[in-house]
Amino acid sequence: MSQENVEVVQAAYRAFNSGDAERLLGLVASDIEIEASGLMLDQGTYQGHQGVMAYRENLREAWGDSLHIHVEDFIEEGDHVVVMARTSARGKSSGAEVDIPVAHVWTIRTGKIVRFQPFASREEALDTVGLSE
C-alpha cells in the first residue's frame, strides 16, 4: 500500500509542477486539508477542492509560474509520505530568487490525498508522523 501512496504523491508533484490543476484535483479527496506554514507566503488552512485552488492561486500570486518543487527523497510511514525537497522560485513582483530545502507530509487514504503539510525542516516533518532521526 505505501508504494501506491508514494506513486500518488509523485503524481501530485508532477501535476503541481506542470500546472495541471485538473489532474491535481483528481488526486485529492474532496475534504482535503492543507495546513500551510507560511514558508512560501502561503500561511493558513485550506479545505476541499476550493481550498486547493485557493492555495495554488496564493502561491501563483507570489511566485507566478516560477515555483518548482524538486523532490529529493521519500519516506513512507503508514498512511503518510514524508518528502524531502527543494523549492525554487522567483518573486513575481520583486524578482527575488529563492531556493530552499523543505519537507512535506502527505496523508493518503484509499488512494486519495487527504492532508498536506509543508515544514521548514526534516525533523519537524518526521516528528509529525512519529519518526525521529
pLDDT digit string, tens, across residues 22-68: 999 999 999 999 998 766 666 789 999 999 999 888 888 888 888 89
How far lies 49's CA from each of 8, 26, 108, in Å? 17, 9, 15
- Over the chain, what is the mean pLDDT? 91
Count Cβ atoms within 10 A of the Cβ of residue 130 and give its class: 0-12 exposed, 13-18 middle, 19 or more buried: exposed
- The answer to whether domain 2-125 has CATH 3.10.450.50 is yes
Residue 40 is predicted with a pLDDT of 62
Nearest to 120 by CA among 49, 40, 18, 29: 40
What is the pTM for the complete model shown?
A: 0.91
pLDDT of residue 83: 97
pLDDT of res. 41: 63
- Structural domain spans, the chain: 2-125
- What is the structure's pLDDT at 93? 86
Q: How far apart are CA 31 and CA 68, in angstroms?
A: 25
Residue 89 has pLDDT above 70, yes or no: yes
